[in-house]
């Protein structure tokens, strides 16, 4: 990859990372002000409802991008700049955590969603969409565990870090199942297509990575010596 192209991609990665952070922060700020603004709290607060759902999509796509770049980085292909894919992997993971927190806060402060703070962290305590929300809570805890151990990577033994990092695959799957089950917008064809296409691309990337790892291990194995 040429340096100029790599530099441009890196600048793009930084800009999108910051844009997402700013988006998530503004959603939180908006929520805080919306709570105090009587004009909004006295209505059905449709803006909060819209923001709660759209932040779910931001969280899902950020997690998907993080998984995709993590898979590409681990492939150690000479066609890709590993430093860049790792940077994208880290930035999108952080963005996924921030967007998920925003998603939860926006849903809980909206009284029409009937979600409590407790039900956003303890599975099977939500009165509405109990199962679908519980799957989201499991995804949340998976995300927190993977992100926390990565931020503290130097203090966590390598074997433990690797085992916990492997939970990211389950977390992504739970996030997808939750999004499909809980989402009002799952009935929209374009949204169903989004889930299908993202799942197919990531599934393909993971299968390709696993196949090349198996083939690499077979090639490295020494040939049995003749008796
Ligand atoms: C990794 C974590 C999570 C991701 C990626 C995620 C993503 C999503 C997505 C994409 C939707 C669909 C929005 C729509 O179709 O309009 C959604 C809906 C929903 N999420 Fe999450 N979510 C996560 C965690 C959580 C948690 C922890 C809770 C608990 C508070 C939660 C509660 C809900 C609820 C109640 C809905 C339904 C909203 C509706 O009725 O449309 N989510 N989520």
Give the three-class secondary structure for 74: helix
From first to last of its 227 residues, the chain has per-residue pLDDT tens of 456 777 777 777 778 778 877 777 777 777 666 655 544 444 555 888 889 999 999 999 999 999 999 999 998 777 778 899 999 999 999 999 999 999 999 999 998 888 999 999 999 999 999 999 999 999 999 999 999 999 999 999 999 999 999 999 999 999 999 999 999 999 999 999 999 999 999 999 999 999 988 887 777 776 666 54
DSSP per-residue codes, 178-204: HHHHH-GGGGSHHHHHHHHHHHHHHHH
Q: What is the pLDDT of residue 15?
A: 80
**Could you tell me if residue 217 is inside a domain?**
no
State the Cα–Cα distance between residues 40 and 89, nearest whole angstrom: 37
**Could you tell me if residue 100 is inside a domain?**
yes
Of residues 67, 55, 164, 153, the one with CA closest to residue 109: 55
Atom of ligand 1 nearest to the CA of 104: 30
Spatial neighbors of 32 by CB under 8 A, at least 6 apart, are: none
State the Cα–Cα distance between residues 128 and 131, nearest whole angstrom: 9
Of residues 104, 84, 107, 103, the one with CA closest to residue 17: 84
The domain total for the chain is 1
Q: What is the pLDDT of residue 214?
A: 85
Q: What is the pLDDT of residue 217?
A: 74
- The residue assigned the tokens 């590993």 is 82
Distance 136 CA to ligand 1 centre (A): 6
Q: What is the pLDDT of residue 3?
A: 67
**Could you tell me if residue 215 is inside a domain?**
no
**Could you tell me if residue 225 is inside a domain?**
no
Atom of ligand 1 nearest to the CA of 129: 35
- The residue assigned the tokens 């700049």 is 81
Q: Which domain holds residue 154?
A: 12-38+46-205
**Could you tell me if residue 214 is inside a domain?**
no
**Could you tell me if residue 80 is inside a domain?**
yes
Q: What is the pLDDT of residue 61?
A: 97
Distance 58 CA to ligand 1 centre (A): 10
Q: What is the pTM of this model?
A: 0.82
**Could you tell me if residue 7 is inside a domain?**
no
Q: What is the pLDDT of residue 199?
A: 98
């Amino acid at each position: 990859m040429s340096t100029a192209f790599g530099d441009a991609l890196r600048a793009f990665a930084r800009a999108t990372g910051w844009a997402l952070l700013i988006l998530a922060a503004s959603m939180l700020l908006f929520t805080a002000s919306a709570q105090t603004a009587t004009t909004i709290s006295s209505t059905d607060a449709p803006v909060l409802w819209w923001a709660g759902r759209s932040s779910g999509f931001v969280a899902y796509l950020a997690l998907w991008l993080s998984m995709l770049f993590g898979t590409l980085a681990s492939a150690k292909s000479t066609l890709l700049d590993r430093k860049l894919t790792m940077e994208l992997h880290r930035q999108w993971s952080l963005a996924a955590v921030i967007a998920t927190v925003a998603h939860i806060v926006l849903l809980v402060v909206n009284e029409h969603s009937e979600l409590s703070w407790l039900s956003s962290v303890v599975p099977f305590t939500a009165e509405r969409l109990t199962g679908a929300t519980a799957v989201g809570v499991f995804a949340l805890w998976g995300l927190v565990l993977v992100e926390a151990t990565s931020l503290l990577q130097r203090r966590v033994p390598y074997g433990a870090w690797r085992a916990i990092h492997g939970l990211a695959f389950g977390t992504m799957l739970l996030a997808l199942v939750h999004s499909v089950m809980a989402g009002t917008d799952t009935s929209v064809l374009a949204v169903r297509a989004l889930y299908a296409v993202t799942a197919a691309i990531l599934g393909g990337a993971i299968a390709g990575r696993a196949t090349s790892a198996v083939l690499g291990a077979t090639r490295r194995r020494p040939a049995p010596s003749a008796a």
